Chain A
Amino acid sequence: MSVITASGLTKAYGNNVVLNDISFSLPEGKIIGLFGPNGCGKTTLMKILSGLIHDYSGEVLVNGNKPGEKTKAITAYLPEQTFVHDWMRNIDAVDYFNDFYSDFDKNKALEMLKRFGLSEKQKSKTMSKGMQEKLLLSLVMSREASLYILDEPMGGVDPATRGAILDFIMQNYSQKSTLLISTHLINDLESVFNHALFIGKGSVLINDSVENITAGGKSIEDVFKEVFSNVW
């Protein structure tokens, strides 16, 4: 069964067409890598799925529904940038999620904060980018969501911590859920993906299982280089 379906999806910023009439469906219960070069529309696609971009044409369905109130209740989205209010302390952010998401596990979130060495009383605006990313990850991964959308989850984290964060994601996501992760750090994450979606120049270039993609003995990163050296 498909958790995400897009048909004829087109999104342009002025004259710049980022997604050009693309259609695809993504399977449920998989860890899906979303790959593509900078500016190819990965973040735009994730924002559309999360209900943050509305002026697109075509149809997008998440669990059979258009992005909106219903899909937001089952989707946990981690954007590329930090998003908590400046006035919030870490505990306020945890309480905020606890108030609005019925699938949020407050104890799990507090445990995660402790594990990351983040104080409950610390204000988000006084934290470094890496610390803020850890906070957001703790919040998002403490939900029992059907779909996790993670946009560059390790973008601002030092290489030493990446492995720990990856373990953290793998341990904390609900096993029945689908994970859609966009990343440029293909090497670090390659082992966890079981499906991949490659987009570039507004089109879907590959949408297949990792097993099929790497059948010829190539790694995902090799395939990425091969595909995008021709496209760009």
Chain B
Amino acid sequence: MPDEELTTPTSDAEHRRIGVYICHCGGNISDFVDVAAVRDAVATDPNVVHAETTLFACSDATQHDMVERIQRDGLDGLVVASCSPKLHVPTFRAVSRRAGLNQFQYTQVNIREQCSWVHSDDRPGATAKAAGLVRAGIGHASLSVPLEPVTVDTVPSALVVGGGVAGLRAAVGLADLGLGVTLIERTDHLGGAVGGLGAMFPSNQSGRELIAQLVAEVADRPSIRVLLETELVAKSGSFGNYEVRLEGPPGTEPVTATVGVLVIATGFASYEPALGEFGYGIEGVVTLPEFTAMVDASPGPLQYRGRPVGSIAYVYCVGSRQPGGNEYCSKYCCTATAHVAVQVAARDDRVTQYHLYRDVRTYGVYELLYEEARKRGSVYLKYADDAPPDVARRGDQLVVTARDTLTGPDELEIPVDLVVLVTGMVAAPNHDLTSLLKLPLGSDGFYNEIHPKLRPVETVVDGVLIAGASQGPKTVSESVASALAAVAQSGAMLLKGQAELNPLVAVVGTSCAWCGECASVCPYDAISRVEVDGVAVAHIDPSACKGCGGCAPYCPNEAIDLLGVTTAQVELMIEGMVAPVHEEVLVS
């Protein structure tokens, strides 16, 4: 239910009829910003006919109310003050469309990421700032004009970068939607990391078998073209019509292709411990990927360099969750370790297995593996974050020293035949691709989606999607799920055959006296000289204009405006931000 609403149902030809919604976001905003005071501060604006606070602006109920309100009160502008525009601009543009309001007459105001969350120590300051931001949004909306998106035809095909499990599954899915697919792989074979894996949980199918099956499915589909030893070296054009240049092995001609979207599925690399890190480099100390390969390679009783292995210590979180290093959890390694421990125990139940862990994160169905590992005799010992185990070789004997925080303060010395460092995933080294596509990286070095829940495979680069472990550590099934999400998103983008381009382009005003300066600085050749009533002026082609606004500051007459951020709008926004908030509003 909305809080008190303030509605002024007057009709006034000079003013706009704007509705303002100020979101609590549960308490994410209202715990730190007095949202009612913000409403009161803006409700008297002559352009505002309705202002209310709402618990969740994005909820179905509030969206429904907005549609009704826009229609009933004949609103010609909508301002939603809630989270970052990255999250809900599509939501409220859709609300506007459903209500018959032009979607470009809605303005989003960010009072969460750029206000409540960064000023949680300053409620009056955060409230005053939020009021300023909302006033700026009202100013922006008050000068908004109805615009129609420019539509362009899209190419019904996709480029998939990376031939691992995610890339292969994406290629099959895209082909089944009727899209043409070019799949490129940097190495000379398909399969990626999964192609090197043995038995996997829960089916016991090997990674090799899974990949072979996917490769066969790819081969069955003539609309998929596979290029090995090939990399993406150039990209131009825009969403729906990207031209890509692909370079194959030396001696082959580069290939160009036109694609509507790109699916980036470049996978991960395994963390490589430094020499000496938990004894890495000492004979008998191996990483988890080295160990699983070892178990997979020899079906009989476990051996290491020709000697039987009777005891193993797994040291968890090596290279993961380290302040100043990789701070994230790779979240697959606990499960992979439990899985390999079960396999080892199944071969020879006399092998003693110690798991020195910080926290066990065998989530969901993987909890069953953890349980089975313990049933089969695995011993789990929890070490403290600030007291990691020590791995050393004393003569012929590997010894792991640790304290188990669950059983007592005594130091345990565990003599073992093998130490497995449970390492996680790190971002694959893809600097050239990253800078070519201008993809944003998260603080963990993996590719960043726009939002993990709302837009989980889209990036800020339109039409460039990410899938699999290129986005962050994932299990095989999570990788496949994200690949299918990228397939669905590609379908949503391309199957209509048309894409809507941003209509917020540059426009030329009446003070233009054609000097050619703007045309000379536009790299997209969007500006040309035309004659209107015998007078030469600049003309901007809206389908060629990318909407960067780079031409505007070059106009000596300041005749160019960028729609959505016109000079008049910016000036109103500045005034709105600096206008004082009355004390009585802030202390109410």
Partners in one complex: no
